[in-house]
């Protein structure tokens, strides 16, 4: 079984969060699977958003980068992953909906089994090329790093209430801001901010949280973050969500997609 990203990144915190939805001890820090304080996304605004699911149900989201590659979080790695593209309402099937399985799963580490990692990012190569359509299209990688204070949007099918779970039929969106590193370090003092972003609202009430994992943080039409982890219950004052900082991984992402398996992690 793979182990949770926080236990590997921050052993001192490992007794305070949950992994795969199962509590290690008291669940204070947890992979993020929920949109809090948001609204229903417009069905035409997320053609890049994909569902990751298996026989147990939907467990993560991801972002379509091109015809063959999806970007998600490393802690979303599972066996028997199915990838659903072109979906809005989980109970409604569009004519252009497509389903794929992974051909390869690559994480930013010295080995590519995604069971141990230092950065919560994973590329999935699809088993066959995706046809773009009205409901399926890629999202751009960032051309520059995000500015502190940037207005961004995060989305997903995770539960929309905390701590009691309420799972929506359609993805929910919430608008939040990129926060300065000192805010992030104050909330999580043992954490390195090298390859992460903190985003949220300082006053709380809006956040990604416990199905949103692996989904995109979108700023100016580009993916700047990948939903990773945060405090539970979610949307607390001065305790923002944590996201993998996509811009720092551009060379790795583009190298892998180009076929350079020796490309180095940042």
> Which active-site residues does the annotation give?
75, 120, 213
Round to whole Å and give the CA distance between 50 and 81: 12
Burial 115-127 (b: 16+ CB within 10 A, else e): eebbbbbbbbebe
Token reading at 73: 């979080």
Round to whole Å and give the CA distance between 173 and 253: 26
Identify any residues that bridge with 200 across adjacent strands, giving them in sequence order.
177
C-alpha dihedral sign at 204, 21, 119, 145: negative
Region class of 114: left (phi > 0), else alpha (psi between -120 and 50), else beta: left
Task: For the chain, state the CA radius of gyration.
Answer: 17
Q: Is 119 helix (H, G, I), strand (E, B) or coil?
A: coil
Distance of CA 93 to the CA centre of its chain: 23
Q: Rounded to 5 degrees, what angle do the CA atoms 116, 119, 124 make?
A: 80
């Amino acid at each position: 079984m793979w182990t949770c990203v926080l236990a590997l990144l921050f052993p001192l915190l490992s007794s305070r969060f949950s992994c795969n939805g199962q509590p290690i001890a008291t669940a204070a820090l947890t992979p993020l699977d929920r949109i809090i304080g948001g609204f229903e996304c417009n069905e035409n605004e997320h053609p890049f958003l994909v569902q990751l699911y298996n026989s147990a149900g939907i467990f993560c989201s991801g972002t379509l980068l091109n015809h063959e590659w999806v970007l998600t979080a490393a802690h979303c790695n599972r066996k028997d992953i199915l990838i659903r593209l072109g979906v809005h309402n989980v109970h409604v099937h569009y004519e252009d909906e497509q389903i794929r399985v992974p051909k390869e799963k690559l994480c930013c580490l010295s080995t590519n089994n995604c069971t141990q990692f230092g950065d919560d990012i994973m590329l999935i190569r699809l088993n066959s090329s995706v046809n773009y359509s009205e409901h399926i299209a890629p999202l751009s990688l960032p051309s520059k790093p995000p500015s502190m204070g940037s207005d961004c949007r995060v989305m997903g099918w995770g539960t929309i209430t905390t701590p009691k779970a309420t799972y929506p039929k359609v993805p929910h969106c919430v608008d939040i801001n990129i926060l300065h590193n000192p805010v992030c370090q104050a909330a999580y003092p043992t954490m390195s901010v090298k390859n992460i972003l903190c985003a949220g609202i300082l006053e709380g009430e809006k956040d990604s949280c416990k199905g949103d994992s692996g989904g995109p943080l979108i700023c100016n039409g580009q993916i700047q973050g990948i939903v990773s982890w945060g405090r539970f219950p979610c949307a607390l004052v001065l305790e923002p969500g944590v996201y993998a900082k996509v811009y720092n991984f551009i060379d790795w992402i583009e190298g892998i997609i180009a076929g350079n398996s020796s490309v180095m992690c940042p």
